[in-house]
């Protein structure tokens, strides 16, 4: 029993060290694990030739006293880039974005500064629910109006 407890403890420490290393030393997120600041060439203006990303996933860096990045769903609707936060209340990044709307999107190795604006218009939210791409991980039933926040990412 003692060996099992020690083994579990060692595994927990190793996972913690790995996650901390990714956050501190990575060039952005690693799969679904949040990472540190992203690198790339900073480009202003619109996304040239932006296409729906594979699986609907993009890399988003939330600014603040300690920038952090994560992989999120991103999709186009009527020419605008949107990012949903499913079960937003249970995540930290949507609250961080509300506190500081400056974000960075990495697309094809380039960094684009954006300003995130939370969408509160119920008609637009209904249309966005219908537009969210199928990522294979999230089902349409998960995009509930009360718990999913949408952010439009406008150029700064």
Residue owning tokens 């996933």? 57
The per-residue pLDDT for range 38-95, each reduced to its tens digit, is: 999 998 877 766 666 666 788 999 987 788 999 888 888 998 999 999 888 899 999 9
Whole-angstrom CA distances from 110 to 24, 41, 42, 60 are 21, 5, 6, 12
Residue 26 vs residues 22, 68, 74, 97: alpha-carbon distances, Å = 5, 10, 21, 21
pLDDT given for residue 57 in this prediction: 81
Domains held by the chain: number: 1
Share of the chain above pLDDT 70, in %: 69
Containing structural domain, residue 25: 2-155
CATH of the domain at 130: 2.30.110.10
């Amino acid at each position: 029993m003692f060996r099992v407890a020690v083994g579990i403890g060692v595994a927990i420490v190793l996972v913690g060290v790995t996650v901390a290393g990714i956050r501190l030393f990575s060039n952005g997120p690693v799969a679904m694990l949040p990472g540190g600041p992203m690198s790339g060439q900073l480009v202003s203006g619109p996304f040239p030739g932006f296409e729906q990303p594979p699986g609907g996933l993009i890399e988003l860096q939330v600014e603040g006293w300690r920038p952090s990045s994560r992989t999120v769903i991103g999709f186009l609707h009527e020419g605008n880039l949107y990012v949903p936060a499913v079960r937003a209340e249970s995540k930290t990044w949507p609250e961080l974005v509300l506190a500081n709307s400056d974000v960075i999107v990495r697309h094809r190795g380039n960094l684009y500064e954006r300003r995130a604006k939370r969408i509160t218009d119920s008609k637009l939210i209904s249309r966005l629910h219908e537009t969210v791409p199928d990522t294979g991980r999230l089902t349409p039933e998960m995009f509930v109006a009360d718990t999913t926040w949408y952010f439009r990412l406008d150029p700064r």
